[in-house]
Chains A and B, each alone.
Chain A
Amino acid sequence: MKELDPTIVLAVFQEMLGPLLWVLLAVVVLGLLAFVLLLVRERRIVSRRLVGAEMLGILGGALALVLMAKVSSSGFTDAGGPADWFLIAAVFGAGLVGSTILVYTVAGWWSVRRQSGRFAGSA
């Protein structure tokens, strides 16, 4: 794969998703940025929040599989070999990790805002 050409991959995804590609990329970039900023601010991972986010993440993984099945007019029940199981795992994994990070980040900033709101109120 040393000749992997990102411009071709980008061109194909642009045709596939249209403007949605940029929306998705923006969500990924902004989400990751918000996640990193949250980690920097809190200086720890809140395990209670992480477990909750992971629970919803499982749902996100399942949703990714359903979405994949819908757009490909097929489903993971059509899997016929190791490459298919790998694809299923990858799609589920992407959905799981993506939504876990997203939920964790949103919940984190939500509580940060609430806390600072409380401080502001008590001040």
Chain B
Amino acid sequence: MTTHDHQHVPRGALSPAHARRRALLLAGAAAAAGAGFAPGSTRAADKVRTKARIVIAGAGAAGLTAAARLAHALDGAQITLIDARKEHYYQPGFTLIGAGIKPIDYVVSTTAEYVPVGVDLVPEAVAEFDPQGNRVVTTSGKAYPYDFLIVATGMTLEYGLIEGMDERLIGQQGIGSIYRSPGAAYATWQALSAFADRGGRGVFTRPATEMKCAGAPLKITFIAEDHLTRRGKRSKAKIVYNSNNRVLFSVPIVSEKVRMLFEERGIDVNYERVLKAIDPGKRIATFTTPGGTEEQGYDFIHVIPPMRAPEPIRNSPLPWQTGAWAAEGWLEVDKGTLRHLRYPNVFGVGDIAGVPKGKTAASVKWQVPVAVDHLVAQIAGGKSQALYTGYTSCPLITRLGRAMLVEFDYRNNLVPSFPGVIAPLEELWVTWVMKTMALKPTYVSMLRGRA
């Protein structure tokens, strides 16, 4: 960890230019960049001594990264990581499995191998959050009191909210869904490949809820189109992308670019279509539209389920109480500091955070250091000025072998890491190379608190 950053950004007040320079997710990735977000308080040399009890709920990308950074920054803290799942999934790789590029084991490892020394891993799920009592209770009934809580539970995929849909259908009868699991991503590839051999009508969807990796629905559409083209079956196929709203991507300039690419590739677009029901036997998908429901037949359909907070979070006082995010249960945190707006000793990072942008690994990479800096500064009796600007990144695959390196922030500004070298709206091989070669090592380094 260097502390150079900190010398010219006293306690973190980020100028836009600085924020942009820091917005180098692909840092080591391209071996050309790398702004270490290295708050002074996390320097190994001067760890903060404390007896604080810190509970981290969830050991996915955000939880593990937080654990690593806290373990680096604190000496004597009692850090407890709670998660029942033994496998760790590198979720940015799911699309590559669904594309037939990578095998299942590319994304599967174990949680235990990333748990830092000095951090206790409790192999259970949190059943109850009690922020008034400053404790969480696990499924076995054991209570874990805390001084600070980091909520990194992730989200749940609600396939059941689509009538007739069952996650066991993935891979059968032309139904694909890369989101569910590595196995489901591979089953999706088999269904997609069978479709690319025959042609027919391919239907692509996205839910009306907040979702993780909002680029994934577009990527899988582009990938399907490319496989059909490569197999000489493009003329026998119709590809229809159904957007839940009136745009293709939340960042207007990217949305326009995708619209142009879809037009160029002959991909039809329907706006304001949300998958409501599916009839696997008849291969009919029913969508809600502003004017009622609409049925679409399909030979292949890519289903992306509604997503929301896990039940214990929704049943707790932690989510937003009003507004669009209340029903889905996202955590009511400040979008700049990730600190809970009502419970100041609680932070929310990763997918569960109720912030306007980015449920991605790139967001995790930039959110966690900010939340940890605030937490550590508070323990040390100071105050952090670190701010998360909403930076996130999406290597938007537009065909096999090419992708656009789309990086943006809360304000829908493009924040390219390599301005003048890697143009954000250009389909490039170098971006694909990063996605396939460098992103996973960068991600793993992030889990270990090293990037």
Contact = CB atoms under 8 A, between A and B. Distances in A.
A7 B2 contact: yes
Nearest to B422: A83
Contacts of A42: none
A5 B2 contact: yes
A83 to B, nearest CB: 5
B402 A80 contact: yes
Interface residues of A, number: 32
A81 B423 contact: yes
Interface stretch (B32-40, B241-249, B260-268, B388-396): B32-40
A12 B28 contact: yes
Interface string A1-37: 1111111111111111000000000000000000000
A95 to B, nearest CB: 15
A80 B428 contact: yes
A72 interface: yes
B4 A13 contact: no
Contact of A11 (B35, B400, B450): B450
Contacts of B442: 12, 15
B441 A8 contact: no
Nearest to A87: B430
Contact of B36 (A1, A5, A78): A5
Contacts, number: 118
Interface of B: 1-2, 4-5, 21-22, 24, 27-29, 31-36, 38, 101-102, 400-402, 418, 421-423, 426-430, 432-433, 436-438, 440-442, 444-445, 448, 450-451
Given A11-B451, A12-B27, A74 B429 contact: yes
B428 A84 contact: yes
Contacts of B29: 12
A123 interface: no
Contacts of A47: none
B435 to A, nearest CB: 9
**A1, A75, A80, A86: which has the most chain B beta carbons within 10 Å?**
A80
Contacts of B430: 83-84, 86-87
A11 B429 contact: no
Contact of A8 (B28, B422, B427): B28
